[in-house]
Amino acid sequence: MKNKNSILFAFKRVIAALMDVSIFLIATMFIVLLVGEPIVEHTTDIVKIREEYSSLAEEYKVRIWNEEMGMYVDNPDISEEVLKAFNENPRVKELEEMNTEIVMNEVLISLTISSALIYVLIPILMKSNYSLGKKAMNLKVVSSKKCELQKHQLAIRGVSFIVIELFFGLISYGIIPLISLAMIMFTKNNQSIHDYLSKTKVVRATAGKEDIVSEEDDEYYKMIAKENARDLTIGGRNNDK
């Protein structure tokens, strides 16, 4: 039963993580448009770079004006010799490198802002330490040290997830996230790599006996039940007044 519960618990964590990543990507797209591009346009020469590049493309007839579409499009009739001459033009190569570098900086700025928002700021500010994905999956983050979860633990956890699971996970072609998934399924406290680094663990926000994964989870939910009962008693007394 414990193994079955662990697999189900790991599945919920994966779904929660995928939901958070989806929100992260959507947030990044909006931040690129609302923050990244304006910053780049005001702090770099990207507009002039693109205008010069377009002028060279028109000069070589790489791009032509389409009257029906009302915009410049790639010239389908350009010869391979002209296209090769355009691509090998030193200034064209320089402009492309400058544009690529600026765009990468724009994306980096946007990714930094969105990752800090989704994985650090929102969990710190949300009641009961939820991320949006975990809230949907009825999960929450608690301290693994059997004490109250501290805000700096959430910050460490968020940064660790960004660096290890996202960045190094991408570089390792998903190997690191798979290792974390195995750790969630088979370790005693169902902790991933970033859980260990931040001394946190993920538990169900509410659970019945069939949801208990470990003895420590059992103790945790008993404590939560006592606190809820106490709050209801206090609330009842206040309502009586």
Confidence of residue 88 (pLDDT cuts 50, 70, 90): very high
Structure token digits, residue 20: 């958070």
- Which of 90-94, 127-131, 139-143: highest mean pLDDT? 90-94
Confidence of residue 232 (pLDDT cuts 50, 70, 90): very low
pLDDT over 70, % of the chain? 82
Confidence of residue 4 (pLDDT cuts 50, 70, 90): low
C-beta separation of 179 from 193 below 8 A: yes
Confidence of residue 209 (pLDDT cuts 50, 70, 90): very low
User: Which helix or strand (DSSP H or E) is residue 200 part of?
Assistant: strand 200-204
d(CA 120, CA 155): 5
pLDDT of amino acid 171: 86
Q: Which residue has the higher pLDDT, 184 or 26?
A: 26
Confidence of residue 148 (pLDDT cuts 50, 70, 90): confident
Q: Is the pLDDT confidence value at 93 over 90? A: yes
Q: Which residue has the higher pLDDT, 70 or 111?
A: 111
Q: Which residue has the higher pLDDT, 146 or 141?
A: 141
Confidence of residue 211 (pLDDT cuts 50, 70, 90): very low
Q: H-type helices in 63-165, by residue range?
A: 80-87, 90-116, 122-125, 132-136, 151-160
d(CA 230, CA 219): 17
Predicted model pTM: 0.67
